[in-house]
Amino acid sequence: MKIEGKEYRTIWFENNTVKIIDQTKLPHQFIIKDLKNVNDAINAISTMEVRGAPLIGATAAYGLVLSIIEKNDLSFLKKSSEDLIASRPTAINLKWAVDRMMKKLLGVNSNEILKIALDEAKAIVEEDVSFCQNIGLNGLNIIEKIAEKKKDTVNILTHCNAGWLATIDWGTATSPIYHAHKKGIKVHVWVDETRPRNQGANLTSYELNEEGIPNTIIADNTGGILMQRGQVDMCIVGTDRTLSNGDVCNKIGTYLKALAAKDNDIPFYVALPSSTIDWNIKDHKKIPIEERNSEELSHVEGLDKNNKLQKVLIYPQKSKAMNLAFDVTPAKYITGLITEKGICEASEQGLKGLFK
């Protein structure tokens, strides 16, 4: 998708280096950063220079390529794979991508391992692009139907950033929106700010602006009243881990939005590529929920009056804060799952019907 009119992807490989857009600097600075070794990749994931489930999976895949370039040695590769998986706990794509890479790489001759690793990492990236594109085409049908019935702008609420910046291109939740916009359907997006890291305001609104899609940032608690007033036609969010029973683990606050949508009879869709499905964990309480540094809550960063980035404390100095990064939305609150293979019910039957 575009930034200042130029097409970008979120990650690419060039001259033995992985290039990323540093998302901790957006929207105020656009910086392309080089990842030169596996530690750079681990650091980029844990500090959220790259974030979003599919993108951290792709970064981990390229991280293994960097590990081989650094030291073509099996025990180093195994250690790299463990460290990459540990770099963030909740999104399943990280382990999915590392496992897929290691399955290809174990037992391979050291003369050809780099080429095989690079080909597989590129395959993961290309597959994500085509999956996200298909998610868009499938989700477009839902938006089209609402637009035909309403004969007016379709108002869509989204949470966090499940946009192209969270994937390689297109995004998951945003892909149906981009496809609708390209088809000439009038859409407007309510963007949850998504405290504490503000991925909605800093990333979703930013990327929608760059594509010319009307959007309005709202405080995370505003969605409920907008739904009561009839100003939301549908919600679409992403997911970091989807259980086989249809429960969805996504950015903290998703659950509360789903409850409000249910209470107001508003369709609540979750968009995902199959790489986000966890077929093993059956009970959502077993999902590792990331708890991040409380400084993400107590401090905010922004431009001061001299256009300089500043970080300031906004809480009482003596207060404690807790920063859980994800929550779980039970399947019963989800209208449907929009996947690369079609739309299904959020249930074991629905998912197995498409994927097994």
Write down the least CB distance from residue 239 to ligand MRU, Å: 6
- Determine contact, residues 58/19, Cβ cutoff 8 Å: no
For ligand MRU, the closer of residues 155 and 175 by Cβ is 175
For ligand MRU, the closer of residues 54 and 176 by Cβ is 54
Alpha helices in 151-184 (DSSP H): 174-182
For ligand MRU, the closer of residues 118 and 344 by Cβ is 344
- HSE (side-chain half, CA atoms, 13 Å) at 351: 22
Write down the least CB distance from residue 78 to ligand MRU, Å: 26
Backbone angles phi, psi at 186, to 5 degrees: -80, 120
Q: Which 8-state DSSP code applies to residue 324? A: B
Active-site choice (192, 240, 247, 278): 240
Write down the least CB distance from residue 276 to ligand MRU, Å: 7
C-alpha distances out from residue 286 to 15, 244, 270, 322, Å: 41, 13, 21, 20
Q: Is 22 a catalytic residue?
A: no
> Which residue is at the shortest CB distance from ligand MRU?
238
Q: Encode burial over 239-261: b for 16+ CB neighbours within 10 A, e otherwise.
A: bbbbbbbbbbbbbbbbbbbbebb
SS3 85: helix
β-bridge partners, 164: none
Write down the least CB distance from residue 205 to ligand MRU, Å: 14
For ligand MRU, the closer of residues 181 and 197 by Cβ is 197
What residue ranges bind ligand MRU (CB under 6 A)? 51-54, 91, 160, 162, 166-167, 171-172, 199, 238-240, 250-251, 325
Q: Tell me which residues are annotated as active site.
A: 240
